[in-house]
Chain A
Amino acid sequence: MKERYSRQILFSPIGENGQRKLSEKHVLLIGAGALGTSNAEMLARAGVGKITVVDRDYVEWSNLQRQQLFTERDAVERIPKAVAAADQLREINSEINISGKIMDVSIHEIEELVEGVDIMIDATDNFETRLLLNDASQKYQVPWVYGACTGSYGLSYTVVPGQTPCFSCLLGSVPMGGETCDTVGIISPAVQIVAAYQTTEALKLLVEDYKSLRRNLFYFDIWKNQQSTIKVEKLKKDDCPSCGQACTYPHLDPVNLSRTAVLCGRDTVQIRPANKGKRNLDELFDRLQAIEGGKVEGNSFLVNLTIEGRRLVAFQDGRVLIHDTKDISEAKTLYNRYIGG
């Protein structure tokens, strides 16, 4: 144990005491894409006692350029990212507790996941989940580290409830559309910079070295050779609905939640049925095989139907991904046609 972490223990801000604290802490990672896999690998190697990785998606070829825990075999077999990441993390460090959860994080899920967690790391690909995370962070007093990137640009910020402005304070209104990995692409080094900032902040929080926290909003464009920070304390709003004096946590209210989502970096719509029951994949597999002109494949986690030049993937938790379209109404039509509400 000591040999394994010896170089980290030699680093005086961590030391023996910090290493012990790391081994007693639980980190929740929301998302196992580019940021998620990079953060997860660093934290697992660092010896964080428990790591929970949550993701709703599965591995595809377009992920392999930057999502470091995945292999070609994961893409061929369409292994859910949470499963593939957790398996790889266990290979890296068998001494810690690693949990992979195939799950689309919404209100109900975040309220369960956050219990007993010391910090959360944002590795999501959308603002809705980040705002959910932000409200859960405030409600349960759990710090979280924002990170995001597109192209060669990225940014990071650490939210400590009761101390810093929250993400809603910084964001103002929720952006409509904007750049995604889908429209402007993404290079791996931009991911690694953001992840490095996130993991470093996470380590400071986990060893309880609060005075070393960055407290600024950090951003860079590694292709344009720019990087800077902005002091944001001034942005803390007393009337913020998420962290202000009369906060209501609006993003934990189902009224403010969408049921469909276009996934970042993918020509894909996700539909999440209101019914929270489990989907019987064997039954679905048999039913879809009867459809003329369709090709059905499956594994124990999902069923894949290729039809009409589109691909539908159904998960056990009820969600369906409709690939090769960004049109939500078309996606719903295909969903209703083949999967059924």
Chain B
Amino acid sequence: MKLFINGEEMIVPDDVTNVEELLDYFKLNNKAGIVERNQVIVDRSLHAEEAVTNEDRIEIVHFVGGG
């Protein structure tokens, strides 16, 4: 499946079917962050229910502490 993640075209395995699995794939699930799918923020409690489909535009932003 082809996705645009943070503006960059990426191919992810077809067994990634929802936002939670996508975050797992990028090992980002234990980080505080915000996910946007096609310019709509996905509620944190609905990550497992929000499907990702071919050519979706996904933004993933995680908070860091450094400064």
In the assembled complex, how far is the CB of residue A39 from the closest CB belonging to chain B, in whole angstroms? 10
Do A126 and B65 touch across chains, with their CB atoms under 8 A apart? yes
Do A234 and B41 touch across chains, with their CB atoms under 8 A apart? yes
Q: Which residue of A lies closest to B67 (CB)?
A: A35
Question: Please, how many angstroms separate the alpha-carbon atoms of A235 and B66 in the complex?
Answer: 23
Which residues from chain A contact B8 at a C-beta distance below 8 Å? Answer: 224, 226
**Contact code string A287-311 (vs B, CB < 8 Å = 1, else 0):** 0000000000000000000000000
Question: Please, how many angstroms separate the alpha-carbon atoms of A194 and B66 in the complex?
Answer: 11
Which residues from chain B contact A155 at a C-beta distance below 8 Å? Answer: 61, 63-64
Q: Which residue of B lies closest to A219 (CB)?
A: B61
A153 at the interface (CB under 8 A from B): yes
Which segment, of A3-11, A78-86, A177-185, A251-259, faces chain B?
Answer: A177-185
B residues 9-42 in Cβ contact with A at 8 Å: 30-32, 34, 36, 39, 41
Using a Cβ–Cβ cut-off of 8 Å, how many residues does chain B contribute to the interface with A?
18
B6 at the interface (CB under 8 A from A): yes
Which segment, of A88-96, A166-174, A205-213, A323-331, faces chain B?
Answer: A166-174
A60 at the interface (CB under 8 A from B): no
Do B41 and A230 touch across chains, with their CB atoms under 8 A apart? yes
In the assembled complex, how far is the CB of residue A61 from the closest CB belonging to chain B, in whole angstroms? 18
Do B64 and A230 touch across chains, with their CB atoms under 8 A apart? no
**Contact code string A214-249 (vs B, CB < 8 Å = 1, else 0):** 000101010010111011101100000000000000
Name the one of A147, A224, A234 contacting B67, with C-beta atoms under 8 angstroms.
A147
Using a Cβ–Cβ cut-off of 8 Å, how many residues does chain A contribute to the interface with B?
47
A47 at the interface (CB under 8 A from B): no
Question: Please, how many angstroms separate the alpha-carbon atoms of A175 and B66 in the complex?
Answer: 13
In the assembled complex, how far is the CB of residue A263 from the closest CB belonging to chain B, in whole angstroms? 11
A interface, by DSSP: helix, strand, loop or mixed? mixed
A34 at the interface (CB under 8 A from B): yes
B2 at the interface (CB under 8 A from A): no
In the assembled complex, how far is the CB of residue A189 from the closest CB belonging to chain B, in whole angstroms? 14
Question: Please, how many angstroms separate the alpha-carbon atoms of A12 and B64 in the complex?
Answer: 35
Name the one of B36, B61, B65 contacting A175, with C-beta atoms under 8 angstroms.
B65
Do B7 and A228 touch across chains, with their CB atoms under 8 A apart? yes
Name the one of B7, B30, B67 contacting A176, with C-beta atoms under 8 angstroms.
B30
In the assembled complex, how far is the CB of residue B40 from the closest CB belonging to chain A, in whole angstroms? 8
Which residues from chain A contact B30 at a C-beta distance below 8 Å? Answer: 176
Do B67 and A122 touch across chains, with their CB atoms under 8 A apart? yes
Which residues from chain A contact B59 at a C-beta distance below 8 Å? Answer: 228, 230
Which residues from chain B contact A265 at a C-beta distance below 8 Å? Answer: 66
Do A33 and B67 touch across chains, with their CB atoms under 8 A apart? yes
Q: Known contacts A171-B32, A173-B32, A174-B32: does B65 contact A235 (CB below 8 Å)?
A: no
A residues 258-277 in Cβ contact with B at 8 Å: 264-265
Q: Known contacts A172-B44, A217-B34, A235-B34: does B7 contact A127 (CB below 8 Å)?
A: no
Interfacial residues, chain B to chain A (CB-CB below 8 A): 6-8, 30-32, 34, 36, 39, 41, 44, 59, 61, 63-67
Interfacial residues, chain A to chain B (CB-CB below 8 A): 31, 33-36, 122-127, 130, 147-150, 153-155, 170-176, 178-181, 186, 191, 194, 217, 219, 221, 224, 226-228, 230-232, 234-235, 264-265
Q: Which 5 A-B pairs have the closest CB atoms?
A: A150-B66, A175-B32, A35-B67, A181-B66, A150-B64
